[in-house]
Amino acid sequence: MGRRYLPILLLAAVLGGCSTPGAFFGATDGPPFQAAAPSDGEHALVYLYRPRSDWADQELEAPGVFLDNALIGSLPSNGHLALEFEAASYQLELRRPLFGSYWTLFADGPLDFTLITSFALDASAGRLYYLRYDELDPPPKNSGQPGNGPLQLVEQSLGSREIGATRQVQPSQRVAASGEVVRPQQGFWRGVGRALDKIGI
């Protein structure tokens, strides 16, 4: 009898590995928020945060954060991400997983049913941005800030006040203008290559 359920259990394990468990399985327990500044004048600092709510606390799977169609993290209830962007335009999307996967094969098509919201951010060097994700209680429409549904660019006064209660979901990431997330090791070797005046190191 146990062998009949083995394929189902294996499928559930594989699909469950594609997404991040939601707050239903435990509160976000990363470090508390600490304000930072862009590491240099050539980058913008973007805080993407999600206030805690009872509804968000009941999620089985946290929404995934996509940058130019690449998964860069997840945003559970009461969590925040810190991202450093080179000055450029970026397409940020939040997608709700379904059976452990984001089904991005159907992205931008009529069957794209995991997309929650999409937002174009024009990042300027040296600027600080607060992006607030909240499906139940979006900020007032008269704030004058751009946004798309539950993902809104908010004033620094509101963002800095609300983000203080959240927890860090993952370490800060640096993103190149191409949309590629720069790993620390990669940045080191690129620096070595520039110092040696070589390409491809």
Amino acid identity at 126: G
DSSP character at residue 62 = P
How many whole angstroms separate alpha carbon 39 and alpha carbon 125?
A: 11
Three-class SS of residue 19?
A: coil
Structural domain boundaries in the chain: 36-195
User: Which of 19, 53, 86 shows the shortest CA–CA distance to 165?
Assistant: 53
Q: What is the value of pTM for the model shown?
A: 0.74
User: Which of 93, 67, 62, 66 shows the shortest CA–CA distance to 78?
Assistant: 62
* Interval 56-80: pLDDT, tens: 787 888 899 998 888 898 999 999 9
* Interval 182-194: pLDDT, tens: 655 445 555 565 5
How many whole angstroms separate alpha carbon 154 and alpha carbon 138?
A: 10
